[in-house]
Amino acid sequence: MRSVWSVAAAVALSVGGCSSTPADLEAKTTPTIQTYTDNYQEIYRRVSTTAKRCLAGNIGAHASTAVDADLYSDLGYGEVTTSLINWGTRNYFWMARIERSGVGSKMILRSGNTLASARATEMVLGWANGGSDCPLI
């Protein structure tokens, strides 16, 4: 799994136009929006815990994949981001904002900076739907 992520990271860095902040990623990508009947905290839990289990960790001596997850219960949303940290520089691959929407929830997912962005979108949507696999990207 780590070697596939390493290849994806290398490709992402060579493609140029990296997003060094979540705002950069947001400005460069079109969102995928999905609604759920489940509470936003449950969708957030599914995505954040599976992302941490599957993606977070060291790739090599100087690179790692970070999963940052913050739940703002008082504001009714949570955010999860995944980025590659290589020699102190960050490149954000995907970000998900999961928010309260009526009795259910809505996820706004943005994925970019890698040739595998469509696969990453599919993977995160699968986690939000209850999947827990760590598929190869």
Host H or E run for residue 61? none
- Summarize pLDDT for 27-51 with one digit per residue, the tens: 878 899 999 999 999 999 999 999 9
| CATH at 87 | 3.30.530
> Do residues 71 and 47 touch, judged by C-beta distance below 8 A?
no
Q: How many domains does the chain have?
A: 1
pLDDT digit string (tens) for 86-115? 887 888 889 999 999 999 999 999 998 677
Q: Is the entire prediction scored with pTM above 0.75?
A: yes
Write out the residue range of the structural domain in which residue 33 sits: 2-128
Nearest Cα neighbor of 109 from 53, 61, 46 is: 46
- Give 129 or 18, the one with higher predicted confidence: 129
What distance in Å separates the CA atoms of residue 112 and residue 89, rounded to the nearest whole number?
17
Q: Which helix (H) or strand (E) holds 70?
A: strand 63-72
